[in-house]
Amino acid sequence: MRNPIWQELQECNHFLDLASKIALQATCLRDKCWSIIVKDKEIIWSGFNSPPANQENQRRCNVDKSKYHPKVKDTTCCIHAEQRAIIDTLKTNPDKITWSRLYFVRLNIDGNIEPAGKPYCTICSKMTLDSWISEFVLLHPEWVCIYDTDEYNKLSFEYDW
């Protein structure tokens, strides 16, 4: 993990701010999340969390998660913002995804950016590796952090609930 220096920090803040404005479009009933994939300072695609296509009526947002089998790791009904951004980029701009950077934003109930927390989603970390995204950007309480996707993946498997 590294903290960006001045010019890179300005770029990170720009894309995180942009993502926060459009994250309000996310249809998840619990969290509003958005991811932007950027290469050479150009947005190549973005995605928000929502149920899979044609599954809006299949929401499980308010289901008691303790009733799921222990093997069920992702108990949400939504495709993660990171997953949707990666899938859609691979559909529309597959030649641009290699060595790109993924920005992730989560909004609180008031619509303001909240710290994303430490890397924990092994599904998204594996997808970024498999699609050759080189960096993962998260906002932490103290600073913007840029993770190499190998490091992000390793940390996601070490996350302690």
Helix, strand or coil, per DSSP, at residue 122: helix
pLDDT at 78: 79
Looking at 25-34, 112-121, 127-136, 146-155, which range is the least confident one? 25-34
What's the pTM value of the predicted model, to 2 decimals? 0.87
At 103, is the pLDDT very low, low, confident or very high (cuts 50, 70, 90)? very high
36 close to 102: Cβ distance less than 8 angstroms: yes
Range of the domain at 113: 6-52+75-158
pLDDT at 71: 57
CATH assignment of the domain containing 87 = 3.40.140.10
Query: Which residues, including other chains, have CB under 8 Å from residue 75's CB and lie 6 or more apart?
Result: 60, 63, 65, 68
Which residue type sits at 25?
Answer: Q
Count structural domains, the chain.
1
Residue in this structure with the two tokens 């641009």, named with its chain if needed: 96
Is 48 among the domain residues? yes
Angle at 17 between CA 13 and CA 21, to 5 degrees: 175
Helix, strand or coil, per DSSP, at residue 139: strand
Instruction: List, for residues 34-80, the tens digit of each pLDDT value.
Output: 999 999 999 999 998 888 876 666 656 666 667 655 655 565 667 89
